[in-house]
Amino acid sequence: FSLNSFFTMQGPVLQQQPFNTPEEKPQFPGASADFVERLEFIQPNVISGIPIYRVMDRQGQILNPAEDPKIPREEVLNFYQKMTLLNTMDRILYESQRQGRISFYMTNYGEEGTHMGSAAALEPTDLVFGQYREAGVLMYRGFPLDLFMAQCYANADDLGKGRQMPVHYGCKDLNFVTISSPLATQLPQAAGAAYALKRENNNRAVICYFGEGAASEGDAHAGFNFAATLECPIIFFCRNNGYAISTPTSEQYRGDGIAARGPGYGIMSIRVDGNDVFAVYNATREARRRAVAENQPFLIEAMTYRIGHHSTSDDSSAYRSVDEVNYWDKQDHPISRLRHYMVSRGWWDEDQERAWRKQSRQHVMEAFERAERRLKPSPDNLFSDVYDENPPLLKKQEQDLFQHIRQYKEHYPLDLYEK
């Protein structure tokens, strides 16, 4: 039996179709391309780099009036106050962890512009999947300081009933999916949620946040490919802040950032200045509009800088210089850039700045003190919210636990917990 006889046996079904000319396009189903007769590998630096879209410079001046989103004064003030309130909350909770009052914390220093600019461009009904540095998105949507504190202190007011480590926020009413620790798991989850919204045809979109380090996880590639092939209304929002914990981008990838990966999956992509809240707003608003109207995914890479340590478990001075951090903190910070914009329009001055800083700190400290005084969730929560009716084995474990606590109650401070 030969290959030649196989073709003969198949008759006209597998007849070879010769090309009439060398210029005829190939018919392979896996790609759209042309034939070439010269052996040449594609260079990774075939282009100079994807440009970074921005609206205002570092002094807060609008560069192209046609790109000015013309956001009303009240909303710009809301951006600024939320960004600075988040900054104040970060400082107080970071110090709280250093004093041993909470177990863990992650700050958002330097990335506040990505939060407020993107959150403002969404509809309240849009579904948000965060990584762990999107507290500003939740704050913009109306999550109160008391609930931020309750989650970090794992007290009885925590929506998660004290079951998660700090900064793993979530709020069903605000369409913010509870954050989980493993990196990039939210990407395929978000793609699936977007596919469900597409099938419902209810004018909603999904936004999924992640860092450039998480983009190296396999789940990121699965999420991109599912969203593209299923044509889902989703915005993949990458915060490229320069460091994946202690790994700089120079060691994280060799290609042109994260936006360059979008075209390979068939995803519309853009790179924006993440320290320019208006650029982030414009890009997210347009991506959201088109994602819903056209049922297709979009990828936004927001270039920014993580000014703080990765978390309270990290000392960034071990892998980057103080001068580098100071440059981004003093010369190109999203808060100072927006303040320059407001001052140039007469919307803000030093007196207002001092008054707001004092007021915002007072708000945070009051919520902080309330959270510390609040009792912990009841131990009963250890056994709830998994089964509709607890199985016998779990009931037995519950009985054994409380019998043990009653027997050795002097070792268990139950007065710190709700009854």
SS3 letters across the chain: CCHHHHHHHHHHHHCCCCCCCCCCCCCCCCCCCCCCCCCCCCCCCCCCCCCCECCECCCCCECCHHHCCCCCHHHHHHHHHHHHHHHHHHHHHHHHHHCCCCCCCCCCCCCHHHHHHHHHCCCCCCEEECCCCCHHHHHHCCCCHHHHHHHHHCCCCCCCCCCCCCCCCCECCCCEECCCCCCCCHHHHHHHHHHHHHHHCCCCCEEEEEECCHHHCHHHHHHHHHHHHCCCCEEEEEEECCEECCEEHHHHCCCCCCHHHHHHHCCEEEEEECCCHHHHHHHHHHHHHHHHHHCCCEEEEEECCCCCCCCCCCCHHHCCCHHHHHHHHHCCCHHHHHHHHHHHCCCCCHHHHHHHHHHHHHHHHHHHHHHHHCCECCHHHHHCCCCCCCCHHHHHHHHHHHHHHHHCHHHCCHHHECC
| 262-288 mean pLDDT | 97
| Active-site residue flag, 216 | no
pTM as predicted: 0.91
- Tell whether the model's pLDDT for residue 64 goes beyond 50: yes
Residues 92-104: tens digit of each pLDDT: 999 999 999 999 9
**pLDDT value at position 348?**
98
Q: Where are the domains of the chain?
A: 65-373, 379-416
- Tell whether the model's pLDDT for residue 28 goes beyond 90: no
| Active-site residue flag, 411 | no
**pLDDT value at position 295?**
97
**pLDDT value at position 23?**
57
- Tell whether the model's pLDDT for residue 22 goes beyond 70: no
Catalytic residue among 96, 118, 269, 311: 311
Catalytic residue among 103, 181, 313, 317: 181
**pLDDT value at position 30?**
86
Tell me the average pLDDT of the chain: 93
| Active-site residue flag, 217 | no
- Tell whether the model's pLDDT for residue 19 goes beyond 70: no
Catalytic residue among 310, 316, 333, 360: 310
65-373: CATH superfamily? Thiamin diphosphate (ThDP)-binding fold, Pyr/PP domains (3.40.50.970)
**pLDDT value at position 182?**
95
Q: Answer with the residue of higher pLDDT: 142 or 34.
A: 142
Catalytic residue among 24, 75, 95, 251: 95
| Active-site residue flag, 398 | no
- Tell whether the model's pLDDT for residue 13 goes beyond 80: no
